Chains A and B, each alone.
Chain A
Amino acid sequence: MARILHLISQLGEGGAQRQLSLVASQSIHEVEIASLIASPEEELFPFFRNCSIPLHYLSHSSDFYAPEILPALKKLIMDRSYSLIHCWMNQSIIQGLVAARLSGIPCLSSPRNVLESLDYYTARFWEKRLFRKSVQRSDLVVFPSFTVAIDFVDSGWVEPARTRVVYNGVDEIEFQPGFSGEAIVAVGRIAAEKAPEDLEETAQQIHKQMPGIRFIVAGGGNPPPSKSIEFVGRVDDIRQILRQAAVVIHTSRFEGMSNALLEAQSMGIPVIARRNGANTETVVDGVTGILADTNDELARACVALLTDQEMRNQMGAMARKRILSGFTIAGQVKKNEALYNELL
């Protein structure tokens, strides 16, 4: 058994945090979590509010590159004598790698998104350059899907020999099928990289053909004013929203690996998503959901599914089956442990 430090930029709401919580809670190793900055209590991802895993905050400012972070991180590694550091988000990969090299322990990094969306996550040019260098120099690089992996390899960011892929897991017991709602649900933060204006356009298209159908959007951020969409804001237990869903729609333009799609499929809800990024891996087009290119096609697919109960049931069953066969937490944790063993 080894002591492993998981380093993350912040502990707010998001895909990386969700995966971290799953991996940390199931790991056989002794796990501690460090966050570059401290998020306010109310923005914290629910799991971290009262978990038994030790949390360390490296800075109390809102700046990911505050000068006290690196010394604090190095001191933490020395004090607690970790044998491995696993970095989860772009900013933490840069500083985690430096600290790991300074204290002589191996570093594992997990970039989570396709390079196309890099501008949204690391805006400054020097940050991009450092990010690229740190991915190139990490001991192992773990990707959430083959799509992201091949994207990085093809762009020359990482050698094939250091590339590993671990699919995200979804808690198949928590996310049980067996509910049938009538609404259309979308899950995701309201942020520029998730293209909220597409959501609005698709909702309007659907309402033209099926007036009166509910279109619920769950996720933090500032919602734009809208007549056709019900924004419910941040939800701690997303299952309550998913239980009202007949279909789940996902309009995001870049996906490294979408947790929202996995959770919906685990609950036996057919999904409609854009045909790009890792969506072609998570969703089998025409079997567990429908993939489309434009907002028009998304809306059309949505209406087609809503009017066909039989197809919805069939797709839902296939979706659940697929999740059980390839996207369980047990599988994810096992693969992660294998990676750690490779480096320890």
Chain B
Amino acid sequence: MSYYKATNRVEKLQKILQLFRLFAVTRKNRKKVQSKMYSVFMVIPELDRLGGYEKQGLQLAGALAQSGNLVSIISDRTGNFPPREFRNGFLIHRLGGFKLLLFFRLIVFLASRRRTFQLMHVHGVTGFSVIAAWIGRMLGKPVCLKAATRDDLRNVFSSRGLKSRLYRRILKNIPNMIAVSEELGQEMQSCGIPPARITRIPNFVNSVKFTVPSPDRKQILRRKHGVSDSTVVFLCLCRLEKRKGVEFLLQAWKEYPGGVLWIVGGGPEEENLKELAEHLKLSQVVFFGTQLAPLDYYQAADVFVFPSTKEGFPNVLLEAMSCGLPCISSAIGGVTDLLLQDLQGLLVPPGDPLALSEAMRKAHSSPDRKRWSAGARMTVEENYDISRITAAYLNLYSRAVEGHIRPSQAGNES
């Protein structure tokens, strides 16, 4: 081999041109390979609001990436967040602009990346997500849509506006609908979506993070709040808004002053509820406001109370059960899927303070609490753990991709 050095520009240029000429050979003889991972585009509107279903979406994206898939999240930009961000093995795109500009951007974005994704998973029924689903269909990709809040679909299907009519057309053609609860599945059916298209995949909880505390840890956490070991701590953790029905809980507490009641969370009703508590002259009620680390409260409490009147699929209940808390909840859709009377706790009719106080009295002295606690943890481990739900989603994806017929092909067949 000779020692070589390009001494002038012409020689250098010749060398580069030679390389380019040789490079043409790389076009040919490419081996065929099979795809080993799904590349999923997740559309999550208003990601940074970080409500229940946004968090679920982020966790699911992380879990899917961990199990070997390529995940990008597409969201609209609210607030000062970077437009392109890597997180835990997936990529977040935040598209700026609003209304028409945003939709136009979304179209350009998805169309220019049509080769980079196999499947689209849309969360929620808002303008952003429905339009994204429509573009996904136009690009010939399988689309899954997850509806997580009650009445979202029904509102679209019962309203007469031009926008609703457009959305209805799009929604009726989506091949895979995901319902988080039995009740949402029924709602979809009543909107005219065939049952064969509906898959029920509930929400999940990370049962490794939300675990049953050791007795020592529980003691330490309770000491922090000055609660003795024998006192029964009732915990209500949710966003304080009208539909959560916390005022019924306060009324029930008036009938039943035993143990301590912790109310964790903030929201529009916080001041009203505090006033109500004062008005009813309640004792042993503590308001904690919004807390960033809810785990500590779950692990310190004894019984979880959930008086809500309307839910899609309550994540807090799932978290409480994962921490092994017996639950008292109103029997509403979403709750009855995962909580059975006398197996993991007690069910009461929604908006009924008397029944609620009766149930709390029962839970306070009942020896069944241990059994309920074990039952709650077991239910979560068996059905609602993140690993199981991720597997269910992967299963759905494989069905969606295999059963997918491109719109153009469908046209040819008929």
Contact = CB atoms under 8 A, between A and B. Distances in A.
Tell me if chain B binds chain A.
yes
Contacts of B87: 280
Contact of A156 (B23, B37, B113): B113
B36 interface: yes
B408 interface: no
Given A65-B19, A154-B72, A277 B5 contact: no
Interface string A155-174: 01001111111000000000
Nearest to A124: B16
Q: Size class of B's contact patch?
A: 35 or more
Nearest to B88: A280
Given A61-B5, A66-B4, A154-B72, A161 B33 contact: yes
Given A137-B26, A159-B115, A163-B70, A281 B89 contact: yes
B2 A68 contact: yes
Nearest to B68: A165
A102 interface: yes
A160 B29 contact: no
Contact of A59 (B1, B37, B72, B89): B1
Nearest to B38: A160
A153 B70 contact: yes
Interface centre among B15, B20, B28, B39 (most CB of A within 10 A): B39
Nearest to B116: A153
Nearest to A155: B116
A207 B113 CA distance: 48
B29 A67 contact: no
B412 interface: no
B20 A154 contact: no
Given A106-B31, A281-B89, A97 B4 contact: no
A94 B19 CA distance: 9
Interface in A63-106: 63, 65-68, 70, 72, 94, 97-98, 101-102, 104, 106
Given A130-B20, A147-B86, A156 B115 contact: yes
A133 B22 CA distance: 13
A266 interface: no
Contact of B70 (A59, A101, A150, A156): A150
Interface string B98-118: 000000000000000101111
B39 A153 contact: yes
Nearest to A165: B68
Interface centre among A59, A106, A163 (most CB of B within 10 A): A163
Nearest to B209: A287
Contacts of B6: 63
A159 B36 CA distance: 12
Contact of B4 (A63, A70, A98, A153): A63
Contacts of B39: 153, 160, 163
Interface in A96-151: 97-98, 101-102, 104, 106, 114, 126, 130, 133-134, 137, 139-140, 145-147, 149-151
Contacts of A29: none
A102 B25 contact: yes
Interface in B21-77: 22-23, 25-31, 33-37, 39, 65, 68, 70-72
A160 B4 contact: no
B91 interface: yes
Contacts, number: 116
A204 interface: no
Nearest to B64: A146
Interface residues of A, number: 48
B409 interface: no
A295 B21 CA distance: 47
B112 to A, nearest CB: 8
B28 A101 contact: yes
Contacts of A102: 22, 25
B81 interface: no
A156 B116 contact: yes
B89 A126 contact: no
B3 A147 contact: no
Contact of A280 (B30, B89, B117, B118): B89
Contact of A150 (B3, B23, B71, B115): B71
B401 to A, nearest CB: 12
B29 A101 contact: yes
A287 to B, nearest CB: 10
B4 A61 contact: yes
A342 interface: yes
Contact of B65 (A63, A106, A146): A146
A60 interface: yes
Interface of B: 1-6, 15-16, 18-20, 22-23, 25-31, 33-37, 39, 65, 68, 70-72, 86-91, 113, 115-118
10 residue pairs, one from A and one from B, having the closest CB atoms:
A146-B89, A160-B39, A161-B35, A139-B31, A150-B91, A137-B26, A101-B25, A147-B86, A281-B89, A66-B4
Interface of A: 59-61, 63, 65-68, 70, 72, 94, 97-98, 101-102, 104, 106, 114, 126, 130, 133-134, 137, 139-140, 145-147, 149-151, 153-154, 156, 159-165, 276-278, 280-281, 342-343
Given A61-B5, A104-B29, A126-B20, 6 more contacts: A102-B22, A126-B16, A150-B70, A153-B116, A165-B37, A343-B31
14 contacts: A70-B22, A98-B25, A104-B29, A137-B30, A150-B72, A151-B86, A151-B91, A159-B115, A160-B116, A160-B117, A162-B33, A277-B86, A280-B88, A343-B31
